[in-house]
Amino acid sequence: MKLYIVGAGPGAPDLITVRGQQLLKEADVILYADSLVSEEHFNIAKPGAEILKTAGMHLEEMVEVMKQRLQEGKKVVRLHTGDPAVYGAIMEQMTLLKEAGVEIEIVPGVSSVFAAAASAQAELTIPDLTQTVILTRAEGRTPVPEREQLAKLAEHHCTIAFFLSATLTKKVMKELVSAGWAPETPVTVVYKATWPDEKIVRTTIEKLDEDMRVNGIRKQAMILAGWALDPNIHQKDFRSKLYDKEFTHGFRRGMKQ
């Protein structure tokens, strides 16, 4: 018995991996939870495939459905938005399924953080500016551990990608500014990256909440913050050392070792 956990990618049906797509074609049962999984993915499912929306089910119920179908010898795919490894809540599912003797295979997907960066045509790691991206969420009803409070993460002044935070922008603004981020620090919000109704909002920390409101964005948004998102980055001198003659020389030599 084997369950396939598949990353669907950010939305556009052709942004799933070839491997993930093949599994969708072969599946007898497909379970998906998220409103961020496009139903277009199911166009390639076999006729008669069972497609189950799990939004209303609790964990044990869902695991029971999977186990039952697997015991009937069916091929079962659990489709997750983006990549299953971030905010996918797969750990509890896997624990229960493994206890029941189910093998698991995970197929990665394009996370919304990278789809959003692509839509915004941004590089999140700009040489000499920042070489780190933090993937996090603002604290709402779901707590964030004390040592990972935004004020602490902000000390790094790197790029920060906020999942699940579209309703928490006031808090994000307040905490970044009180951690010493300039109010004019660039922020790019990508609503429904790669969906037909995708929207890109380029703003700053101080205007973030207002611009989200004006654009009616209160869910399904990736918020990318930091100077790497500066719309004028091209005019600045952050040319990658990779293109620097001497560095390239040294790098090539280094490669030979």
Residues 6+ apart with CB under 8 A from 173: 205, 206, 208, 209
Question: Rule CB under 6 A: is residue 116 a binding residue for ligand SAH?
Answer: yes
Q: Which of 164, 205, 217, 229 binds ligand SAH (CB under 6 A)?
A: 164
Helices (H), the chain: 18-26, 59-71, 90-99, 112-119, 150-154, 169-178, 208-214, 245-256
CB 219 within 8 A of CB 245: no
Q: Which of 112, 130, 136, 185 binds ligand SAH (CB under 6 A)?
A: 112
Between vectors from CA 130 to CA 168 and to CA 245, what angle results, nearest 5°? 155
Question: Rule CB under 6 A: is residue 168 a binding residue for ligand SAH?
Answer: no
Question: Rule CB under 6 A: is residue 82 a binding residue for ligand SAH?
Answer: yes
Give the nearest distance from C-beta 84 to ligand SAH in angstroms. 6
Q: Which of 31, 190, 212, 229 binds ligand SAH (CB under 6 A)?
A: 190
Choices 56-64, 185-193, 229-237, 243-251; region in contact with ligand SAH by CB under 6 A: 185-193
In the chain the beta strands, taken as DSSP E runs, fall at 2-7, 29-32, 50-53, 76-80, 103-107, 133-137, 159-163, 186-191, 199-204, 221-225
Nearer to ligand SAH, 64 or 211 (CB): 211
In the complex, which residues of this chain contact ligand SAH (CB under 6 A)? 10-11, 36, 80-83, 86-88, 111-112, 115-116, 163-164, 190, 192-195, 220-222
